[in-house]
Amino acid sequence: MDELPYALIPTIIIILLAIYFLASAVRVLREYERAVIFRLGRLAKALLNPGGHGNGPGLILLIPVIDKMVKVSLRTVAMNVPSQDVITRDNVSLKVDAVIYFRVMDPERAVVAVEDYLFATSQIAQTTLRSVLGQSELDQLLSERDRINAMLQQIIDEHTGPWGVKVSAVEVKLIDLPQEMQRAMAKQAEAEREKRAKIIHAEGELQASGKLAQAARVIAAEPVTIQLRYLQTLTEIGTEKNSTITFPVPVDVLRALWESGRAPTEDGGKP
């Protein structure tokens, strides 16, 4: 009876090894995952899962020790591009950061063609960001953001295409201007607002002068309108509780009174 447990030891070891190899042979991939499998160091393209859908998703059967599997995610990756020091074409020093959106389209090339496609994509994005923005002027960076984003996306995608990586979008997030440049731009914006205000005021004066000229032509054609205007002014003054009333007198009336007062003097009499 004492020898029975020792006799079971080889059986237990065999069972444990069988469980280990079975666990090593079975892999389950999610819907967004794909497997790149190497058999004895070579890419095993003909390996099929039980469903017959190639290297994923679903259940993958491997040969223990012989097969090695590398999982690749097909989901879109949003990667932040670290802040880069950029000198624009008009010699303005900036700090610019961006975000890049990409996904793996060919898992085999993403594993075989490049050592680490995430690191490689990040590095090419940084160098391209400095190169493209360095060829643009500050005003273009601020006003033509969409065009610059499209240019960045096209250039980066051309470099990552051989790796099986598709860049879908690149967005410049932040352009950090120096303090002195911010003050200069604030002064420029203020001057632009003052210019627009003066132009609007001048246009208003022009329109008002046109209306006044039109009113003068009407008064010249119908002199009685000036008397009506006097009466209207008196009515407006009378509605206000003022202690002093200013009454407009036509210049012609004052001239007639002045001439009548000077007439006796011209005859030699007393004024």
pLDDT digits (tens, 9 = 90+) for 89-114: 888 888 888 999 999 998 888 988 88
Contact of 149 with 169, CB cutoff 8 Å = yes
Burial class of residue 110 in the structure, from the number of CB atoms within 10 Å of its CB (0-12 exposed, 13-18 middle, 19+ buried):
buried
With bands split at pLDDT 50, 70 and 90, how would you rate the model's confidence at 224? low
Taking CA atoms, 264 is separated from 188, 251, 268, 271, in Å, by 70, 22, 7, 6
| Residue 159 in this model has a pLDDT that exceeds 80 | yes
Residue 38 has pLDDT above 60, yes or no: yes
pTM score: 0.61
Q: Which residue has the higher pLDDT, 191 or 98?
A: 98
Q: CA 133 to CA 151: how far, in whole Å? A: 10
SS3 52: coil
Write down the pLDDT at residue 94. 85
Which range in 42-46, 76-80, 177-181 is most confidently predicted, on average pLDDT? 76-80
Quick one: pLDDT at residue 99? 93
Residue 51 — pLDDT band, cuts 50, 70, 90? very low
SS3 218: helix
Domains present along the chain, CATH in parentheses:
4-72 (no CATH), 77-181 (3.30.479.30), 224-266 (no CATH)
Residue 49 has pLDDT above 50, yes or no: no
Q: How many helices (H) and strands (E) does the chain have?
A: 8, 8
CA separation for the pair 200, 85 (Å, rounded): 42
Alpha carbons 200 and 194: distance in angstroms, whole number: 10
Evaluate whether 167 touches 117 at the Cβ level (below 8 Å): no
Stretch 31-48: mean pLDDT, rounded? 76
Please say if the pLDDT value at position 202 is more than 80: yes
Residues 6+ away with beta carbon under 8 Å from 271: 261, 262, 264, 265
Q: How many CA atoms lie within 13 A of 73 on its CB side?
A: 6
Percent of the chain with pLDDT over 90: 18
Residue, of 86 and 230, whose pLDDT is higher: 86
Token pair, residue 26, equals 């079975």
At CB < 8 A and 24+ separation, what contacts does 25-31 make?
A: 25/61, 25/62, 25/63, 25/64, 26/59, 26/60, 26/61, 26/62, 27/59, 27/60, 27/61, 27/62, 27/69, 28/58, 28/59, 28/60, 29/55, 29/56, 29/57, 29/58, 29/60, 29/71, 30/57, 31/57
pLDDT at 53 over 50: no
- The CA distance from 243 to 249, in Å, is 19
Mean of pLDDT values over 162-166:
92
